[in-house]
A and B are shown apart, each in its own frame.
Chain A
Amino acid sequence: MKLKLLLLLMVFVPIGLMAQGPITGTVTSSGDGAPLPGASVIIKGTTTGTTTDFDGNYKLNSVTSDATLVISFIGFITIEVPVNGQSRIDAVLQEDAQQLDEVVLTGYSAERKIDLTGAVTVVDIAPIEGQSLSSGNAMQALQGRVGGLFIEKSGDPTGLSSRILIRGLTTLGNNDPLYVIDGVPTKRQEVFASLNPATIESIQVLKDASASSIYGSRAANGVIVVTTKGGEKGERLSVSFNSNLSQQSERKQRYDMLNSQQRGEALWRASVNDGADPNAGYGEIYNFNWNNDFSNPVLNGVSVQPFVGGDSNVPVGDTNWQDELYKTGYVYNNELTVSTGTEKSSLLINLGYLKNTGMLKYTGYDRYTAKINGTTKLFNDKVKFGVNTQISTSNETLVSGDVGGAPTTGLSITLAPTIPVYDANDEFAGPLGAGYSDRNNPLLMQYLNRWDNATKNNFFGNVFAEINILDNLTFRSSLGLDFSDFKKKNIEPKVFNGFVTRSNNRLIYDTNKFSTISFSNTLNYKLELGKHRFGALLGIESIREDFDTIFAQADEFAVEQESYFVLSAATGARTNNGISTQYSLASQFGKLNYAYDDKYLASFTIRRDGSSRFGANNRYGIFPAATVGWRISQEEFLKDSNLISNLKIRAGYGEVGNQEIGNTARYGLYESRYGQNQAQLTGGFFEIYYNVGTAYDINGNNTGTLPSGFVSTQASNQNLKWETTKEWNYGIDFGFLENRISGSFDYFTRETTDILTTPPIASVIGEGQQRVLNGAATSAKGWELNVGYSNTWDNGFSLGVSTNFGAFKDEITFLPEEVRAAFPGTAQNSILGQSQTAIFGYRTNGLFQSQAEVDAHPTGGVQTGNARPGGIKIVDTDNNGIIDSNDRDFIGNTLPDLEYGIRLDVGYKNFDLSIFGSGVAGRIGVDSYMFWNNFVQGRDNAGLGVLNAWTPQNTSSNIPSLSLVNNFTDTSDYIFRNNSYFKIRNMQVGYSLPADVISKMAGMTGLRIYLQGENLFWFTPKGYIGSDPERIDVNRIPVPTVYSVGLNINF
Chain B
Amino acid sequence: MKYNHKIIASVICATLLLTACSDNYLEYEPEGVLSSENVATAENAESLVIAAYAGIANDEMIGPLTHQWVFGSVRSDDAYKGGGGRGDVDVIDKYEQYNLTIADMGDWMAPRTWTDFYKAISRANFALSVINDIPDGEYAQKTTRQAELRFLRAHSHFMLKLIFKKIPYITENLTQEEIGQMSNDVDNDALWNTIAEDFLFAYENLPQAQEQVGRADRNAAAAYLAKLRLFQAYEQNDQHQVTSINTGRLQEVIDYADKVIGNLQPDFGENFLDGFDNGPESIWAAQFSINDGTTVGRVSFVTGLNSPHGTGLYGCCGFHLASQNMVNSFKTDANGLPLFDTFNNSDIFTNIDTNGTTPPDSGLSVDPRIDHTVGIPGRPFKYRNTVNDSGDMVYNFSWARDPGVYGYFGNMKEQQAPDCSCYVKEGPFVGTSKNVDFIRYADVLLWKAEALIQLNRWDEALPLINQVRNRAAASTQRPIDAGAADIYAISPYSSFPSKDYALKALMFERRLEFAMEGHRWYDLVRWGIAEETLNAYLAEEKTKRDFLANAQFTAGRDEYYPIPQREIDFTGGLYVQNPGY
A interface residue numbers (CB < 8 A to B): 275-277, 279-283, 309-310, 403-405, 432-438, 467, 469-470, 475, 496, 499-504, 521, 523, 538, 540, 542, 544, 553, 573, 575, 579-586, 588, 610-612, 616, 619, 663-664, 667-672, 674-678, 680, 686, 688-713, 715-716, 760-767, 769, 817-818, 820-821, 827, 860-861, 864, 884-885, 937-939, 964-965, 967
CA distance A884 to B50 in the complex (A): 45
B85 CB-CB contact with A under 8 Å: yes
CA distance A630 to B204 in the complex (A): 86
Interface stretch, picked from B3-11, B328-336, B509-517, is: B3-11
Q: Is the CB of A709 within 8 A of B571?
A: no
Q: Is the CB of A700 within 8 A of B278?
A: yes
Q: Which residues of A contact B401 (CB under 8 A)?
A: 434
Q: Is the CB of A674 within 8 A of B293?
A: yes
Q: Is the CB of A688 within 8 A of B426?
A: yes
Q: Which residues of A contact B31 (CB under 8 A)?
A: 579-582
Q: Is the CB of A710 within 8 A of B317?
A: no
Q: Is the CB of B51 within 8 A of A692?
A: no
Q: Is the CB of B404 within 8 A of A693?
A: no
- Given A575, A610, A698, A937, which contacts B295 in the complex, CB threshold below 8 Å? A575
Interface stretch, picked from B176-184, B344-352, B450-458, is: B176-184
Q: Is the CB of A696 within 8 A of B50?
A: yes
Given contacts A404-B316, A696-B287, A861-B102, contact A709 B30 (CB under 8 A): no
Q: Which residues of B contact A675 (CB under 8 A)?
A: 292-295, 298
Given contacts A612-B26, A699-B212, A764-B118, contact A281 B295 (CB under 8 A): no
CA distance A861 to B180 in the complex (A): 30
Closest A residue, CB atoms, query B429: A689
Closest B residue, CB atoms, query A703: B291
Q: Is the CB of B433 within 8 A of A692?
A: no
Report 5 cross-chain contacts, Cβ distance below 8 Å, ordered by A residue.
A693-B298, A697-B288, A764-B567, A817-B572, A937-B87
Q: Which residues of A contact B59 (CB under 8 A)?
A: 690-691
Q: Considering the complex, which residues of chain B in the window 259-316 have a beta carbon less than 8 Å from any beta carbon of chain A?
A: 277-278, 287-298, 301, 304, 309-312, 315-316
Count the A-B residue pairs with Cβ separation under 8 angstroms: how many? 352
Q: Is the CB of A690 within 8 A of B47?
A: no
B197 to chain A, nearest CB (A): 19
Closest B residue, CB atoms, query A713: B33
- Given A584, A702, A937, which contacts B422 in the complex, CB threshold below 8 Å? A702
Q: Which residues of B contact A678 (CB under 8 A)?
A: 60
Closest B residue, CB atoms, query A586: B22
Q: Is the CB of B28 within 8 A of A583?
A: yes
Q: Which residues of B contact A693 (CB under 8 A)?
A: 54, 58, 294, 298
- Given B8, B25, B39, which contacts A670 in the complex, CB threshold below 8 Å? B39
Q: Is the CB of A588 within 8 A of B19?
A: yes
Q: Is the CB of B11 within 8 A of A523?
A: yes
Given contacts A588-B19, A763-B115, contact A707 B287 (CB under 8 A): no
B41 to chain A, nearest CB (A): 10
B468 CB-CB contact with A under 8 Å: no
Q: Which residues of A contact B567 (CB under 8 A)?
A: 762-764
Closest A residue, CB atoms, query B39: A670
Q: Which residues of A contact B180 (CB under 8 A)?
A: 762, 764-765
Q: Considering the complex, which residues of chain B in the window 24-71 have a beta carbon less than 8 Å from any beta carbon of chain A?
A: 25-28, 30-36, 38-39, 44, 46-55, 57-63
Q: Is the CB of A405 within 8 A of B427?
A: yes
Given contacts A500-B428, A670-B39, A964-B86, contact A575 B294 (CB under 8 A): yes
Q: Is the CB of B25 within 8 A of A280?
A: no
Q: Is the CB of A697 within 8 A of B214?
A: yes
Q: Is the CB of A702 within 8 A of B277?
A: yes
Q: Is the CB of B26 within 8 A of A610?
A: yes
Q: Is the CB of A686 within 8 A of B62?
A: yes
Q: Which residues of A contact B30 (CB under 8 A)?
A: 581, 663-664, 667, 669
Q: Which 3 A-B pairs have the closest CB atoms?
A: A675-B294, A766-B122, A709-B51
Q: Which residues of B contact A276 (CB under 8 A)?
A: 404-405, 546-547
CA distance A310 to B54 in the complex (A): 45
Given contacts A475-B11, A710-B48, A766-B119, contact A664 B33 (CB under 8 A): yes
Q: Is the CB of A496 within 8 A of B404?
A: no
Q: Is the CB of A695 within 8 A of B294?
A: yes
Given contacts A693-B58, A695-B294, A821-B569, contact A702 B433 (CB under 8 A): yes
Q: Considering the complex, which residues of chain B in the window 325-372 have a beta carbon less than 8 Å from any beta carbon of chain A?
A: none
Given contacts A503-B425, A696-B53, A706-B292, contact A691 B298 (CB under 8 A): yes
A581 to chain B, nearest CB (A): 6
Q: Is the CB of A767 within 8 A of B122?
A: yes
CA distance A655 to B32 in the complex (A): 36
Q: Which residues of B contact A703 (CB under 8 A)?
A: 289-292, 433
Q: Which residues of B contact A701 (CB under 8 A)?
A: 289
Q: Is the CB of B405 within 8 A of A280?
A: yes
Q: Which residues of B contact A864 (CB under 8 A)?
A: 99, 101
Most chain A beta carbons < 10 A, residue from B50, B125, B278: B50
Q: Is the CB of B26 within 8 A of A586?
A: yes
Contact flags B398-431 to A (C-beta < 8 A → 1, else 0):
1011111100000000000010001001111101
Most chain A beta carbons < 10 A, residue from B102, B115, B404, B418: B404
CA distance A521 to B8 in the complex (A): 12
Q: Is the CB of A504 within 8 A of B214?
A: no
Given contacts A280-B405, A766-B125, contact A580 B32 (CB under 8 A): yes
Q: Is the CB of B295 within 8 A of A433?
A: no
Contact flags B158-181 to A (C-beta < 8 A → 1, else 0):
000000000010100000100110
Given contacts A405-B427, A504-B425, contact A696 B54 (CB under 8 A): yes
Q: Which residues of B contact A711 (CB under 8 A)?
A: 51, 123
- Given B46, B277, B426, which contacts A689 in the complex, CB threshold below 8 Å? B426
Closest A residue, CB atoms, query B3: A469
- Given B11, B85, B287, B569, which contacts A697 in the complex, CB threshold below 8 Å? B287
CA distance A624 to B388 in the complex (A): 76
Q: Is the CB of A689 within 8 A of B301?
A: yes
B121 CB-CB contact with A under 8 Å: yes
CA distance A209 to B474 in the complex (A): 81
- Given A521, A690, A696, A818, which contacts B61 in the complex, CB threshold below 8 Å? A690
Q: Which residues of A contact B122 (CB under 8 A)?
A: 712, 765-767, 769
CA distance A937 to B85 in the complex (A): 10
CA distance A699 to B32 in the complex (A): 27
Closest A residue, CB atoms, query B21: A586
B18 CB-CB contact with A under 8 Å: yes
CA distance A707 to B571 in the complex (A): 36
5 extra interface residue pairs, beta carbon distance < 8 Å, beyond A686-B62, A693-B58, A700-B214: A523-B11, A580-B32, A669-B30, A670-B39, A712-B122
Closest A residue, CB atoms, query B31: A580
Q: Which residues of B contact A573 (CB under 8 A)?
A: 291, 295-297
Q: Is the CB of A818 within 8 A of B84?
A: no
Q: Considering the complex, which residues of chain B in the window 128-183 have a beta carbon less than 8 Å from any beta carbon of chain A?
A: 168, 170, 176, 179-180, 182
CA distance A692 to B123 in the complex (A): 12
Q: Is the CB of B293 within 8 A of A404?
A: no
Q: Which residues of A contact B27 (CB under 8 A)?
A: 612
B88 CB-CB contact with A under 8 Å: yes
B539 CB-CB contact with A under 8 Å: no
Q: Which residues of A contact B536 (CB under 8 A)?
A: none
Contact flags B374-396 to A (C-beta < 8 A → 1, else 0):
00000000000000000000000
- Given A404, A438, A670, A671, which contacts B36 in the complex, CB threshold below 8 Å? A670
CA distance A702 to B276 in the complex (A): 11
B579 CB-CB contact with A under 8 Å: no
Closest A residue, CB atoms, query B25: A586
B207 CB-CB contact with A under 8 Å: no
B400 to chain A, nearest CB (A): 7
B580 CB-CB contact with A under 8 Å: no
Q: Which residues of A contact B50 (CB under 8 A)?
A: 694-696, 698, 707-709
Closest A residue, CB atoms, query B397: A434
CA distance A860 to B19 in the complex (A): 66
- Given B25, B49, B121, which contacts A766 in the complex, CB threshold below 8 Å? B121
CA distance A404 to B430 in the complex (A): 12
CA distance A434 to B570 in the complex (A): 43
